[in-house]
Structure 1
Amino acid sequence: MSSSYHPQTDGQTERLNQCLEAYLRCTVYSCPTQWSQWLSQAQFGYNTSFHSALGKTPYEVLFARKASHFGLTDLGQSTVPDIQVWL
């Protein structure tokens, strides 16, 4: 049993905090005072990454569909070969 307001007793919360801290550390290196602007991107990155315990991403588990990355729904075709490979 864990008590309220003590995330160190909850392994899952501790792991989430580690992931978010690592992401924010990498992204806000040059501007550490603006870390709060990156929280939504950190959340999206975590929720769209594969979790072996779930066998899916947290987004898929919650919404029963894959996330559309960066708000794009239909990527279509590109005339630039490198972009087409990336798509």
Structure 2
Amino acid sequence: MSSSYHPQTDGQSERLNQCIEAFLRCSVHATPNKWSQWLSQAQHWYNTTFHTALGKSPYEVLFARKPTHFGVVDLGQSTVPDVQTWL
């Protein structure tokens, strides 16, 4: 929610809209008519991404713990360097 003639809030809303638009643009390029099905993914992405203003993700600020990423758990070591970096 934002109020009119309050530039600080309008700027925050516009920045959020830019981020969500960029995520959806990258995600739905093959099927643009199904963009609404990606909104929950976009919300999860935004809330679990590091924010410099907070120094953490919004999820961490709200719940005081790091988010799990779709059930992916630490599987240990990998011999593939890129996979090890990702883990």
TM-score between the two structures when normalised by the length of structure 2: 0.78
Q: Deviations over 1:15-60 (max 9, x none)?
A: 1111001110111111010001111111111111111110110110
Partner of 1:77: 76
Paired residue total:
81
What is the Cα-based RMSD across aligned positions, in Å? 2.0
Q: 3-state SS of the aligned residue for 2:70?
A: helix
Task: Measure how far apart 1:63 and its partner are.
Answer: 0.7
For 2:51, the equivalent position in structure 1 comes to: 51
Paired with 1:68 and 1:57, the residues of 2 have a C-alpha distance of 12
Shift of 1:78: 5.6
Does residue 13 of the first structure (1) align with residue 17 of the second (2)? no
Q: Which amino acid aligns with 1:77?
A: G
Q: Closer, same or farther in 2 for the Cα pair 1:79/1:52, shift >3 Å?
A: closer
Instruction: With the length of structure 1 as denominator, give the TM-score of the two structures.
Output: 0.78
Question: Match of 1:2?
Answer: 3
Runs of 5+ unmatched residues, structure 2? none
Aligned-partner residue type, residue 17 of structure 1: N
Structure 1 alignment gaps of length 5 or more? 4-8
